Homo-oligomer: A and B are copies of this chain.
Amino acid sequence: MRGEFELIARHFAPLAADVSGAFGLQDDAAVIQPESGRDLVYTSDTISAGVHYLPDDPAGDVARKLLRVNLSDLAAMGARPEGYLLNAAFQADVEETWIAEFAAGLAADQESYGIHIWGGDTTRTQGATVLSLSAIGSVPHGQCLRRSGARAGNYIFVSGTIGDAAFGLKIALGELADELDGGTQAILVDRYRRPRPRVTLGEGLLARNLATAALDISDGLVADLAHLCAASGLAAEIDAAALPLSTGVQQLIERDSARLSTALTGGDDYELVFAVPSERRDALVELARELDLPLTCIGHLEEGAGEVTVRGPDGTVVKTAQTGWQHF
């Protein structure tokens, strides 16, 4: 294993090559000129081996996940990604090939999302690898999507399909192997390992004034929608039959309807859930077409105090846990 400075020079400095103010990651800090007329958006997430990802997940996918969960938070605010800081505390026995693959994953995503590293820190820890990333985005001054701001009567929309990541995790852990063909299993595992942050959608919602509130689904649809409801002082009615499900998840629920609850409460989807005024619904459909991304109405908001009610096809209430995963 090389020295710390050489590791940075070899694997991480190339990620900063296009940012003059990052000084090749060789100074004490980066100096970046903010664009006039825009506010800056700051978010930060940590993922840890054995907690947020499986220790044998490919290093490139771990890197993508780390960056993308942060980009998903930016998307939820309607922000354009600008740059990021990486804090990597590697476990003592990390091999340089793992670090190289990790950096390659970041490089690929820098291309995909038009973002560059500005700085960070590379260290070792005595325990499991802990990876933190702080992402910086920007929005036009005075504008952003928030969790609060939704109004009674707004429609509730979600992007993409819901529940894929929760079942993908089960498959990655060796479950459900005899219920789905290999291709479908791979799609769901990919959804778990490589979330697609809805950055362009978030920017579009903000620019076209289509949503009164938004957040990204990391803890599970019901739990995160409950956050939106609580912040907006409303309640949500969800129609389970309207949930956008991938073919694989549809098959799993057809075999065992109790699995609907996993789709409703499973985390790691990193889709957006957002509130749309009825008069903006047509414009939203137009945005969905332009982005070639399914945006599905799954219910509506009404007066209330944070409750999320899910109704099944027969109108009865589907019981779900209202809180998502918590670390403590």
- Closest Cβ–Cβ distance, residue A28 to chain B (whole Å): 4
In the bound complex, what is the Cα–Cα distance between A56 and B9 (angstroms)? 34
Indicate the size class of the contact surface on chain A: 35 or more
CB neighbours of A32 from chain B (8 A): 39-42
Assuming the contacts A29-B137, A45-B121, A144-B31, asked whether A50 and B4 have C-beta atoms less than 8 A apart, the reply is: no
Q: Is the CB of B120 within 8 A of A48?
A: no
Q: Is the CB of A89 within 8 A of B48?
A: yes
CB neighbours of A23 from chain B (8 A): 146
CB neighbours of A42 from chain B (8 A): 29-32, 83, 85, 118-119, 136
A-B contact pairs, 25 of them (CB 8 A): A3-B323, A3-B326, A26-B231, A27-B146, A27-B231, A28-B73, A29-B43, A29-B73, A31-B40, A32-B42, A33-B39, A34-B40, A42-B136, A43-B119, A44-B120, A48-B124, A50-B126, A51-B123, A51-B126, A89-B132, A91-B127, A123-B327, A125-B128, A126-B128, A132-B132
In the bound complex, what is the Cα–Cα distance between A201 and B86 (angstroms)? 28
CB neighbours of A125 from chain B (8 A): 48-49, 51, 127-128, 130
CB neighbours of A91 from chain B (8 A): 127
CB neighbours of A65 from chain B (8 A): none
- Closest Cβ–Cβ distance, residue A230 to chain B (whole Å): 9
Q: Give the contacts of A294-328 with B (CB-CB under 8 A).
A: 323, 326-328
- Closest Cβ–Cβ distance, residue A45 to chain B (whole Å): 5
What is the copy number of this chain in the assembly?
2
Q: Is the CB of A34 within 8 A of B30?
A: no
- A34 (CB) vs chain B CBs: closest residue: B34
Which of B21, B39, B46, B76 is within 8 Å of A28, CB to CB? Answer: B76
In the bound complex, what is the Cα–Cα distance between A79 and B31 (angstroms)? 10
Which of B27, B34, B132, B139 is within 8 Å of A121, CB to CB? Answer: B132
Contact with B along A49-71 (1 / 0, CB 8 A): 11110000000000000000000
Which of B4, B5, B31 is within 8 Å of A77, CB to CB? Answer: B31
